[in-house]
Homo-oligomer: A and B are copies of this chain.
Amino acid sequence: MATLGAYLSEQRDRHLSELKDVLAIPSISTDPTRAADVKRAAEWMHGRLESAGCTRVATHSTPFHPIVYGEWLGAAGRPTILVYGHFDVQPVDPLELWHSPPFEPTVRDGRIYARGSSDDKGQVITHVLALEAHLRTSGTCPVNVKFLLEGEEEVGSESVEAFLKAHARELACDAVVVSDTAMFSKRLPSIVYGLRGLTYLEVLVRGSDSDLHSGSFGGAVINPANALVGMLARLKDAKGRVTIPGFYDKVRRLTAAERKAFRALPHSDQALRRSIGAPDLFGEAGYTSLERMWARPSLDINGIWSGFTGKGAKTVIPAEARAKVSMRLVPDQTSAEIARKAAAYLKKIAPKAVKTTVEELHGGPAWVAPTDHPAMRAASRAIRRAFGKAPVFVREGGSIPIVASFERTLGVPAVLMGFGLQDDNLHAPNEKFDLDQFYRGIEASAFLMEELGQPNGAKKPARRR
């Protein structure tokens, strides 16, 4: 049998080819017309877990999209890791901005471009390939491995939350491993110890029963689009502070140590501005960009639509106007409380000539973990071995609500060992995954299994750091 390293080098072409296969499946979980494709992605994962060597694989149907569970438990007496990931992806619009079709994976300059490449199919299969590599090179794996792969991560992970509660015993483990985040940069590997939470609302403002001619009626009737922009404009002030009453009540303040650690990172506002191509940055006064993105709550309009949006001029007063508004949360804000406060405020400031409804589409809590846990240290060693450099500990502005649920339900730490990069264009056109990160990610996962398989690897602080 080849050594692990030699095997992984040899298999690169096959690994890339398999990555392309799964990326070609348009498993957009929020789109009801794509449900069959989400199912196909589940079937692909099911088959791949079997061929990797899992001894038991099961696809569980749910009220929405299926959940795939797999396990290899041949390392008696060794720790068990639970790898969590998702095979659903974000929508692809605006489609015209993609340089290659989102579901025709295309390699350019050492990166693979496709929706789901970094978020999260490309990352999740690193662990499948790592388990397979151990089994094929040594006939065994240093740890027991369980997989929990879902198809609703981009729409709230509702089914997997329920599954987690119902199958807590089956999912028992010593650590949860999640690769669904980005490293600080290609030259500075990192481990994420904090995530923001989320509250996602849809606001509907209705005026008249149907659209009205803006000439005949303009000036005498409410315009729901004007009403909605007036309401949304009052959600933030000119200094970038959210103005919903009580929004900041439970916000845990950054510690001096954290602020210092963030400042020590090689971050450049100028580089950030250039990378997104905007004329300037903008955020809450009194905080740095990293603090704003990682450890301060935020509010964004994710979508707004009303009236005539085609080419040319239509002189209409729309009957209704809608917006999607989401807030990123930090400890100890709760999604339910923030949703309630936002809805109450929006209704309070709505003009009385409109009807306003606010629907909560989904939400989840923020998460912050201790960085000195043994599993976190094992991950640190694995990354150092694969990437040639010890990782820094960072936070991440996005949300993976299930992470907090794992800790709460299973009582074990979660390790967020992400292999993405900051410019992966998640949720945007031209999502990509750097192939160096993909191949090193497979190595890092294999090394993590070794590190955790050391005596007490997952149990208590190791000597090495």
Interface residues of A (CB under 8 A from B): 30-32, 90-91, 93-94, 97, 154-156, 182, 196, 198, 200, 207-223, 225-226, 228-230, 232-236, 240, 272, 276-284, 289-290, 292-293, 296-318, 321-324, 326, 328, 351-355, 361-362, 396-399, 422, 425-430
Contacts and interface: CB of A to CB of B under 8 A. Distances in A.
B304 A304 contact: yes
B313 A156 contact: yes
Contacts of A221: 272, 276, 278, 281-283
A282 B324 CA distance: 25
Given A226-B236, A228-B229, A279-B352, 8 more contacts: A208-B277, A210-B428, A213-B426, A214-B300, A214-B302, A219-B292, A229-B232, A312-B361
Given A213-B426, A229-B232, A355-B279, A32 B311 contact: yes
Given A219-B397, A220-B283, A315 B302 contact: yes
Nearest to A207: B278
A201 to B, nearest CB: 9
Contact of A223 (B94, B290, B300, B328): B300
| Copies per complex of this chain | 2
Contacts of A323: 225
Contacts of A322: 309
A312 B312 CA distance: 28
Contacts of A226: 232, 235-236, 299-301
Contact of A93 (B212, B215, B308, B312): B308
A299 B217 CA distance: 11
A31 B311 contact: yes
Contacts of A90: 314
Contact of A280 (B32, B222, B289): B222
B302 A313 contact: yes
A308 B91 contact: yes
Which 9 pairs, one residue from A and one from B, show the smallest C-beta to C-beta distance? A215-B398, A209-B277, A219-B298, A30-B312, A233-B233, A303-B307, A280-B353, A208-B276, A225-B301
A423 B76 CA distance: 79
Contacts of A361: 312-313
B196 A426 contact: no
A385 to B, nearest CB: 27
A228 B230 CA distance: 11
20 contacts: A30-B310, A30-B313, A209-B278, A211-B429, A213-B398, A214-B300, A217-B397, A219-B296, A219-B298, A220-B289, A225-B302, A226-B232, A226-B299, A233-B233, A302-B308, A302-B318, A304-B305, A304-B307, A313-B361, A313-B362
Contacts of A223: 300-301
Contacts of A94: 211
Nearest to A32: B311
Contacts of A429: 210-211
B301 A307 contact: yes
A220 B284 CA distance: 8
A216 B397 contact: yes
Nearest to A288: B220
B397 A283 contact: no
Given A30-B312, A309-B305, A321-B304, A293 B216 contact: yes
A218 B398 CA distance: 9
Of the listed residues A220, A230, A289, the one surrounded by the most CB atoms of chain B closer than 10 A to its CB is A220
A29 to B, nearest CB: 8
A214 to B, nearest CB: 5
A324 B301 contact: no
Determine which residue in A217, A223, A324, A425 has the highest number of CB atoms from chain B within 10 A of its CB, and name it.
A217
Nearest to A98: B210
A422 B289 contact: no
A426 B221 CA distance: 16
B317 A300 contact: yes
B300 A208 contact: no
